[in-house]
Amino acid sequence: MTDAVSPQPVNHPVIRHGKVGVLLVNLGTPDGTDYTSMRRYLKEFLMDRRVIEWSRLKWYPILFGIVLNTRPQKVGKAYEAIWNKERNESYLRTYTRSQSELMTESLKDLPNVVVDWGMRYGQPSIASRIDALKEAGCDRILLFPLYPQYAASTTATVNDKAFEKLMAMRWQPAIRTVPPYHDDPVYIEALANSVTRHLATLDWEPEIILTSFHGIPKSYFDKGDPYHCHCQKTARLLREHLGLPKERLMITFQSRFGPEEWLQPYTDKTVEKLAREGVKRIAVMNPGFVSDCLETLEEIAGEAGEIFHEHGGEKFTHIPCLNDSPDGMRVLETAVRRELLGWV
């Protein structure tokens, strides 16, 4: 900085400024399905205090003694089954990159905006993308944790990681974070369209649609996490939009981890119960996942389908996530344009 009385210092570094960054951040993904890549990814993920809130004294012996010795092989096999072989990466990474590229196109009318993408765990890291945006001249960054429903273990940890990076920066960019959009009419409409379009491709009609959200331990809910309420509201608004009675659109929670009680009803147990009770045709969707990933492709489209058939169910279909579809992109773009107001 300089003015009339203090002349320009010699060799003052050139720092580009005046641009606005938009950083899309999803959960993360391993670089490969091999033991080392899986272990590195799971270690970073499961050491996060926002994910596992147990005391480190209790958790680390279990994590380093058992989980990181057994889970990488098991989960690596599951990733192999859903790996995007063409790009040699997981679909979560493929879709997140595509969302960033499509967002860049659709924000062309805002020439000062630079769009980028990163992952909370693994690569590309949030820190590396903040550096890249700063390098590109962004002194303001809109941080977009890609979760419609807020949870401390997802949204908050993305924000934490970005601010941790800022702690080490001399000239910090100004930061805004995108709030949850679980009840945004554009999101609800996109979900409803995805149901209608998918069901139109079938020659049968489901008796019940399950909206399956990723679970969290019940203790997190008891401590005040709004996640459960956000999921309930999304499911209710979707049901109302589709004009379905309560018994035809149910909410369940999947992906339990560890021995604690998680949010109920559980997806796998519900799918089994419905089949046992004589329900023959169901559709399952994952409104809480912006992109298809291990948890939707393997656990729902794969495992939940098997459970349903094993217990007497006849027709099972998985409704894909919004991914990088035009409707999905409209949801993300609406949130970005709303939160950029006053900056562009």
Ligand X SMILES: C=CC1=C(C)c2cc3[nH]c(cc4nc(cc5[nH]c(cc1n2)c(C)c5CCC(=O)O)C(CCC(=O)O)=C4C)c(C)c3C=C
**Could you tell me which residues are annotated as the binding site for Fe(2+)?**
214, 295
Contact between 184 and ligand X per CB under 6 A: no
Contact between 153 and ligand X per CB under 6 A: yes
Output the CA angle 28-153-285, nearest 5 degrees: 70
Give the number of other CB atoms < 10 A from CB of residue 266.
Answer: 19
Q: Give the nearer residue to ligand X in terms of CB position, either 227 or 316.
A: 227
Contact between 229 and Fe ion per CB under 5 A: yes
- Which pair of tokens denotes residue 162? 């970005």
185-200 and 227-242 helices, crossing angle to 10°:
60
Please, which of residues 264-323 interact with ligand X by CB under 6 A? 288-289, 293-295
Contact between 63 and ligand X per CB under 6 A: no
Chosen residue from 20, 29, 195, 328 binding ligand X by CB under 6 A: 29
Q: Give the nearer residue to ligand X in terms of CB position, either 81 or 174.
A: 81
Burial class (CB in 10 A: 0-12, 13-18, 19+), 212: buried
Q: How far apart are the first and last CA of the chain?
A: 25
Q: Give the nearer residue to ligand X in terms of CB position, either 107 or 151.
A: 151
Q: Give the nearer residue to ligand X in terms of CB position, either 19 or 214.
A: 214
Please, which of residues 318-337 interact with Fe ion by CB under 5 A? none
Please, which of residues 225-244 interact with ligand X by CB under 6 A? 227
Contact between 228 and Fe ion per CB under 5 A: yes
Contact between 251 and ligand X per CB under 6 A: no
Choose the stretch contacting ligand X; rule: CB under 6 A; options: 17-25, 145-153, 168-176, 235-243: 145-153
Please, which of residues 113-142 interact with ligand X by CB under 6 A? none
Nearest distance from residue 84's CB to ligand X, in Å? 11
Buried b (16+ CB within 10 A) or exposed e, 281-312: bbbbbbbbbbbbbbbbbbbbbbebbebbeeee
- CA distances 145 to 14, 20, 108, 122, 296, Å, are 31, 17, 22, 15, 19
Residues that bind Fe ion (CB under 5 A): 228-229
